[in-house]
């Protein structure tokens, strides 16, 4: 390239503004486009050692490639500095409710990166990938054992993707029985937004079921809604209120009596390992979030994986391919399954995530998994008991792995849940999930997980108590929080009204002759 695609970059100066908190001024990290300098390069590839073939005609080629130009040290420093702007489980307590932000054993990542796994091409013949297929088969068996179901697909890429696969299987089940009138799917009002969104993607009408005063699904209301037009009830177990429904078995029996199926959202499975198997509770289909319960780090928002477990008669509908054991220690992938809902993703699924889950389950075993859920539930109940003095507990009965508070008292004093959350940042903690579930006013959903030690929980309680006192005495401190972060509260309304979603478009540099510049030829 003879011209810079980012001519403006050289003039970039880092903006330094005084910090509102009075601390030393801190430069913001420039964008890659602002760091770009014409002629820099962070990676060189060997030149092809074969005779040169002319390139296709110019009309098929791009005249310009407007990418930033940086050296390797600049790239390393840029991304390292950006990483330091993130709060993470590796740096502190992250009690984000419904997300299970626990510590994941580091060995899991190392195993996923083994060349014998990371270097596999999905179209390699089965005889070349026996270790991978065996791992998948054993993981399917382990997940089936943990959940009580008989068959599992590992293909879905995420929880919501598992919902799509699971609901399509339910649809296939009804259609196979000629039940075309089942067009509605019932969803509790406390449900995660993916549930109604998934029902709509599958062509269903989503109908809301209310919760009762104790945080259970309102069974009477459910029974009124059930009928020959209902395909399924979608429930999360334990619920998104952090509770185990006190009439779980009655609820699932009522759904079955109406000829509908129960779809289980397994987002909260971290409470149930060795405690109760969802299939035993009357669920027919369950997706499992490997990134929550089974050790895939969340990665800033993916990757995850959403395997789906089903009862025996739904097995024919699993997405293709399925892993099959064809002999003692011999595995392959089966595609010829005429009743399958089809593929939900190309090339199998998130294999690297599966390696982590497999490793994790082998590390813990049956006893270890039960201790995970026991500790997760113990820790949540400990926070419920310790925080009750300062905050309203939305449903004050033993909770499962997360506790739901309401910031009603603080709101009355002039500080909203958002302010409490932002003030927690000043105390060094990641805030809980806020304003979800929607059915609780000023919700604070706290999931401590099993991997936190008691001193951490105590420090969190002390911070929450201090914030409650501040909310009563000096709410303005909360309104202005957080005080010592790289940026303060950002103006999200303006950002949505006038969206800036990319760096400024770079003017396309044109080569002098009209010929596209050629990296291959230029250096010969």
Partner 1 sequence: MPFVPTTDAERAAMLERIGARSTDELFEVIPSPVRFPRLALPPGEPELTVARRVQALAAANRPAAQMACFLGAGTYHHYVPAAVRALVSRGEFLTSYTPYQPEISQGTLQTTFEFQSLVCDLLGMDVANAGMYDGSTALAEAVLMAERITHRTRVVLAGGVHPEYRNVVATYVAERGTELVASEVTVADAMLCEADPAALLDEQTACCVVQQPSFFGRIGDWAALRAACNRVGALLIIVCNPLALGLLKPPGEWGADIAVAEAQPLGIAMEYGGPWVGMMATREKYLRQLPGRIVGEAHDAAGRRGYVLTLQAREQHIRREKATSNICTSEALLALHTTIYLSLLGPAGLRQAAESCYQYAHYAAAEIARLPGFQVLTPEPFFHEFVVRGPRPPDAMNRRLLAADILGGLPLGRFFPALADCTLYCCTEMNTRAEIDELIRVLSEP
The footprint of partner 1 on residues 277-296 (CB under 8 A) is 277, 280-281
Site membership for partner 1, residue 252 (CB under 8 A): no
Q: How far apart are CA 169 and CA 317, in angstroms?
A: 6
The continuous run of DSSP H or E covering 74 comes out as helix 72-83
Site membership for partner 1, residue 213 (CB under 8 A): no
Q: Is 19 helix (H, G, I), strand (E, B) or coil?
A: coil
Distances (CA, A) of 95 to 20, 41, 98, 103, 421: 28, 41, 9, 12, 11
The residues that bridge with 310 in the sheet, in sequence order, are 151, 285
Least Cβ distance, residue 413 to partner 1 (angstroms):
22
What DSSP string describes 390-441?
Answer: TSEESS-S--SS-EEEE-HHHHHHT--HHHHHHHHHHTT----EES-STTST
> Which residue of 65, 253, 326, 462 would you call a contact of partner 1, by CB under 8 A?
65
Site membership for partner 1, residue 396 (CB under 8 A): no
Question: Which residues ranging from 310 to 369 are in contact with partner 1 (CB under 8 A)?
Answer: 319, 341-353, 355, 358-359, 361-369
Residue partners of 98: CB distance under 8 A and separation at least 6? 192, 240, 267, 268, 402, 433, 436, 445, 447
Site membership for partner 1, residue 83 (CB under 8 A): yes
> Which residue of 179, 197, 408, 459 would you call a contact of partner 1, by CB under 8 A?
197
Least Cβ distance, residue 246 to partner 1 (angstroms):
6
Site membership for partner 1, residue 179 (CB under 8 A): no
Least Cβ distance, residue 472 to partner 1 (angstroms):
23
- Choose one: 218-226, 375-383, 402-410, 470-478; the region binding partner 1 (CB under 8 A): 375-383
Q: How far apart are CA 492 and CA 436, in angstroms?
A: 19
Question: Which residues ranging from 158 to 177 are in contact with partner 1 (CB under 8 A)?
Answer: 158-161, 163-164, 168, 171
Q: Which long-range contacts (CB under 8 A, 24 or more apart) does 296-303 make?
A: 296/104, 296/108, 296/353, 296/356, 296/357, 297/89, 297/104, 297/109, 298/89, 298/99, 298/101, 300/86, 302/158, 303/157, 303/158, 303/350, 303/352, 303/353
Least Cβ distance, residue 369 to partner 1 (angstroms):
7
Least Cβ distance, residue 299 to partner 1 (angstroms):
3
Q: How far apart are CA 130 and CA 136, in angstroms?
A: 10
The answer to whether 442 and 369 have CB atoms below 8 angstroms apart is: no
When the beta carbons of 328 and 473 are compared against partner 1, the nearer one is 328
Q: How far apart are CA 247 and CA 517, in angstroms?
A: 70
Quickly tell me which residue has 């000629």 as its tokens. 178
When the beta carbons of 66 and 414 are compared against partner 1, the nearer one is 66
Question: Which residues ranging from 222 to 241 are in contact with partner 1 (CB under 8 A)?
Answer: none
Question: Which residues ranging from 398 to 427 are in contact with partner 1 (CB under 8 A)?
Answer: 398, 421-422, 425
When the beta carbons of 30 and 475 are compared against partner 1, the nearer one is 30
Site membership for partner 1, residue 385 (CB under 8 A): yes
Site membership for partner 1, residue 501 (CB under 8 A): yes
When the beta carbons of 80 and 513 are compared against partner 1, the nearer one is 80
Site string for partner 1, 463-482 (x = CB under 8 A): -------------------x
Least Cβ distance, residue 457 to partner 1 (angstroms):
8
> Which residue of 210, 303, 414, 475 would you call a contact of partner 1, by CB under 8 A?
303
What DSSP string describes 137-192?
Answer: HHHHHHHHHHHT-SEEE---SSHHHHHHHHHHHHHHHHHHTT-TT--EEEEETTS-
Least Cβ distance, residue 438 to partner 1 (angstroms):
9
Site membership for partner 1, residue 274 (CB under 8 A): yes
- Choose one: 196-204, 258-266, 310-318, 466-474; the region binding partner 1 (CB under 8 A): 196-204
- Choose one: 31-39, 254-262, 307-315, 463-471; the region binding partner 1 (CB under 8 A): 31-39
> Which residue of 305, 309, 323, 357 would you call a contact of partner 1, by CB under 8 A?
305
Phi and psi, residue 435, nearest 5°: 60, 25
> Which residue of 11, 327, 500, 512 would you call a contact of partner 1, by CB under 8 A?
500
Tokens of 357: 């889950």
What DSSP string describes 218-248?
Answer: -HHHHHHH-STTEEEEEEESS-TTS---TTH
The answer to whether 187 and 199 have CB atoms below 8 angstroms apart is: yes
Site membership for partner 1, residue 20 (CB under 8 A): yes
Least Cβ distance, residue 490 to partner 1 (angstroms):
4
Tokens of 227: 């009928």
> Which residue of 12, 66, 316, 408 would you call a contact of partner 1, by CB under 8 A?
66
When the beta carbons of 214 and 412 are compared against partner 1, the nearer one is 214
The runs of H, that is alpha helices, within 240-350 are: 248-257, 290-293
Phi and psi, residue 221, nearest 5°: -65, -40
Least Cβ distance, residue 112 to partner 1 (angstroms):
8
Site string for partner 1, 107-136 (x = CB under 8 A): x-xxxxxxxxxxxxxxxxx--xxxxx-xx-
């Amino acid at each position: 390239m003879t011209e810079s695609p980012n001519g403006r970059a050289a003039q970039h100066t880092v903006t330094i503004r005084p910090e509102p908190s009075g601390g030393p001024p801190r430069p913001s990290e420039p964008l890659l486009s602002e760091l770009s300098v014409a002629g820099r390069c962070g990676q060189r590839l060997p030149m092809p050692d074969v005779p040169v073939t002319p390139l296709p005609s110019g009309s098929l080629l791009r005249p310009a490639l407007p990418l930033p130009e940086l050296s390797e040290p600049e790239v390393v420093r840029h991304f390292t500095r950006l990483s330091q702007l993130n709060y993470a489980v590796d740096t502190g307590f992250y009690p984000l409710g419904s997300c299970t932000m626990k510590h994941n054993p580091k060995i899991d990542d190392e195993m996923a990166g083994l060349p014998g796994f990371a270097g596999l091409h999905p179209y390699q013949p089965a005889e070349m990938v026996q270790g991978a297929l065996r791992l998948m088969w054993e993981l399917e068996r382990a997940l089936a054992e943990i959940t009580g179901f008989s068959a599992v697909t590992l293909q879905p890429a995420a929880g919501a993707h598992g919902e799509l696969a699971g609901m399509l299987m339910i649809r296939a089940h009804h259609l196979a029985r000629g039940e075309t009138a089942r067009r509605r799917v019932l969803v509790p009002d406390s449900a995660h937004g993916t549930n109604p969104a998934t029902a709509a993607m599958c062509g269903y009408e989503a109908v809301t079921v209310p919760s009762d005063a104790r945080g259970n699904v309102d069974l009477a209301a459910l029974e009124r809604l059930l009928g020959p037009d209902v395909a399924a009830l979608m429930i999360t177990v334990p619920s998104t209120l952090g509770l185990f429904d006190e009439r779980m078995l009655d609820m699932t029996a009522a759904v079955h009596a109406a000829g509908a199926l129960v779809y289980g959202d397994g987002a909260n499975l971290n409470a149930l390992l060795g405690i109760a198997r969802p299939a035993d509770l009357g669920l027919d289909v369950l997706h499992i979030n490997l990134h929550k319960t089974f050790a895939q780090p969340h990665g800033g928002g993916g990757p995850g994986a959403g395997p789906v477990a089903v009862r025996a008669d739904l097995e024919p509908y699993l997405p293709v391919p399925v892993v099959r054991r064809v002999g003692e220690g011999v595995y392959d992938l089966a595609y010829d399954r005429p009743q399958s809902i089809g593929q939900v993703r190309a090339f199998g699924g998130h294999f690297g995530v599966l390696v982590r889950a497999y490793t994790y389950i082998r590390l813990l075993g049956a006893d270890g998994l039960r201790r995970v859920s026991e500790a997760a539930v113990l820790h949540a109940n400990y926070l419920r008991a310790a925080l009750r003095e300062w905050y309203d507990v939305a449903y004050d009965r033993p909770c499962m792995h997360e506790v739901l508070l309401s910031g009603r008292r603080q709101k009355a004093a002039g500080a909203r849940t958002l302010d409490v959350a932002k003030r927690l940042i000043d105390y060094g903690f990641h805030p809980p999930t806020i304003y979800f579930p929607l059915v609780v006013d000023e919700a604070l959903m706290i999931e401590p997980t099993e991997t936190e030690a008691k001193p951490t929980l105590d420090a969190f309680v002390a911070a929450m108590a201090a914030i409650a006192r501040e909310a009563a005495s000096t709410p303005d401190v909360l309104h202005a929080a957080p005080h010592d972060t790289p940026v303060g509260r950002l103006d999200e309304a303006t950002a949505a009204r006038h969206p800036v979603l990319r760096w400024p478009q770079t003017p396309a540099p044109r080569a002098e002759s009209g010929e596209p510049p050629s990296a291959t030829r230029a250096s010969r």
